Structure 1
Amino acid sequence: MSEPLLELKDLRVKYGNVEALHGIGLTVRRGEIVTLLGANGAGKTTTLRAISGLLRPSAGEIRFEGKPIHALPAHELVKRGIAQAPEGRRIFATLTVRENLMLGAFTRTDKPGIAETLAWIHRLFPVLEKRGTQLAGTLSGGEQQMLAIGRALMANPRILLLDEPSLGLAPLLVKAIFQTLREINQTTGVTIVLVEQNARAALKLAHRGYVMEVGRLVLEDSAQALLSNPKVQNAYLGSRV
């Protein structure tokens, strides 16, 4: 079994006086795809935002490659290998597709490496090369999601955090994006943490999963075991996609 890449220990996060995460602990190993499942408000996005440095924990610890990172600013975490494609994509609508991608490499100085990463992303998502000079705000929803993932990959991350990549997309496009995520993981070894409402698609992609309820982790298992778990089926897998 591979060593832990990311560890959360008794992590607590507050919004003002309201505690959103109540001491959660989880482990993500190198090369894994791990999914976080749960209803809206369960704390999934809060967890990702804490990992990526956008929220400061009120207690507990986040360790990356064995070192505590929870006090570091977000840009420093990007340098260390943590990148996020956020919920809602958050692309820069008035910049071109290429400009959006290049912003993803803002912490890098290795020009040959940046060019190599850009060429790889164009192979993963050919439409991004085709529309390189187009304003990002004119892309379709699916193209914008590809751009958000591509921009995160431009940072050359060791771990990729994805928040609701299927949101608002047609089933065929969701299938294509998830196939690309599997390819990214298998060919490069990039570790992925996936927050996704489409629980069935997420579990078919992932190696392991955690189930969250109101700021707590209530279940952890292999993705295959969670797919066949009656409680998970009743709560999250009621309709097939």
Structure 2
Amino acid sequence: MLQLVDLHVKYGQIEVLHGIQITVNPGEIVTILGANGAGKSTTLLTISSLVKPSKGAVMLEGAPLHKLPPHEVVRRGVAHVPEGRRIFGTLTVQENLNLGAFTRNDTARIHQTLDWIYELFPILAERRRQLAGTLSGGEQQMLAIARGLMSQPRILLLDEPSLGLAPLLVKTIFQTIRNINASGVTIVLVEQNARAALKLAHRGYVLEVGRIVLEDSAQGLLANPDVQKAYLGGA
């Protein structure tokens, strides 16, 4: 469904992705693991066309994404929930969700999507008229994911959805991600909580200093001694 082909990305003269290859099949959750600075967020930004590759390609079902402007990538069915949430704090919950549907004009389906989102996140339904900036961190993360879902994506890119959240909220967010995937949405997940990400994912890639150094099933990565040592706190 999604392919990154020999993808190179530079910031100025500094290359941060060195020819990475990633494949995502329909219906999968694929996680990208790596330390800070490995290039995980850059990978998602390049899929979204917010960052342009210096070489290589991002392909969605055989068609290039990397040549399109970001809003057209959204129209093709890719939504990006960025690190740090990036909600509009001075707008209400409902207004943030409305903005998530900016590429759509099918009013009836938009209302159906909104109803589904309020089923996924009942707290957002309760607070739909509240300013987003007054929500808790966990509620803001729910809103960021919900806003992404308003575009009815086929692929959802999630960058550090558990960042800064209490353990109980992390559990809630990850269960919701599982439910979203079960509805038919393919997910690419960047997550510092490697153990939780691998328990959720079907497959994973390990990115080190801009290079893919390991690819395996999630269970295979969980059992890998090198992954255990580097990302899971030992065996």
- Normalising by the smaller structure, the TM-score range is over 0.9
Can you list the C-alpha shifts for 1:95-125, whole angstroms capped at 9, x where unaligned? 0000001100000000000000000000000
SS of the aligned residue for 1:144 comes to: helix
Aligned match of 1:26 in 8, 13, 22?
22
Inter-partner Cα distance in structure 1 for 2:58 and 2:74 = 15
**Counterpart of 2:105?**
109
SS of the aligned residue for 1:232 comes to: helix
Superposed counterparts of 1:184-199, under 5 Å: 184-186=180-182, 188-199=183-194
Deviation at 1:231, TM superposition (A): 0.3
Q: Is the counterpart of residue 168 in structure 1 residue 164 in structure 2?
A: yes
Can you list the C-alpha shifts for 1:134-185, whole angstroms capped at 9, x where unaligned? 0000000000000000000000000000000000001111011101110111
Q: Report if aligned partners of 2:228, 2:234 keep a CA contact under 8 Å in 1.
A: no
Aligned match of 1:221 in 193, 208, 216?
216
Inter-partner Cα distance in structure 1 for 2:231 and 2:112 = 40
Superposed counterparts of 1:220-239, under 5 Å: 220-238=215-233
**Counterpart of 1:78?**
74
Deviation at 1:13, TM superposition (A): 0.5
Deviation at 1:66, TM superposition (A): 1.2
Inter-partner Cα distance in structure 1 for 2:31 and 2:93 = 28
Inter-partner Cα distance in structure 2 for 1:108 and 1:72 = 18
Aligned residues: CA RMSD: 0.9
Q: Is the counterpart of residue 211 in structure 1 residue 206 in structure 2?
A: yes
Unpaired runs of 5+ residues, structure 2, are: none
Inter-partner Cα distance in structure 2 for 1:228 and 1:99 = 44
Superposed counterparts of 1:150-165, under 5 Å: 150-165=146-161
Relative to the length of structure 2, the TM-score reads 0.99
**Counterpart of 1:180?**
176
Can you list the C-alpha shifts for 1:181-211, whole angstroms capped at 9, x where unaligned? 101111x210000000000000000000000
**Counterpart of 2:90?**
94
Q: Counterpart amino acid of 1:141?
A: G
Aligned match of 1:63 in 56, 59, 62?
59
Q: Counterpart amino acid of 2:75?
A: K
Deviation at 1:239, TM superposition (A): 7.4
Aligned residues: 235
Inter-partner Cα distance in structure 2 for 1:166 and 1:43 = 18
The percentage of counterpart residues that share the same residue type is 72
SS of the aligned residue for 2:196 comes to: helix
Inter-partner Cα distance in structure 2 for 1:120 and 1:199 = 29
Can you list the C-alpha shifts for 1:59-82, whole angstroms capped at 9, x where unaligned? 001100111111100000000000
Deviation at 1:9, TM superposition (A): 0.5
Inter-partner Cα distance in structure 1 for 2:219 and 2:170 = 20
Inter-partner Cα distance in structure 2 for 1:183 and 1:156 = 15
Superposed counterparts of 1:117-156, under 5 Å: 117-156=113-152
Unpaired runs of 5+ residues, structure 1, are: none
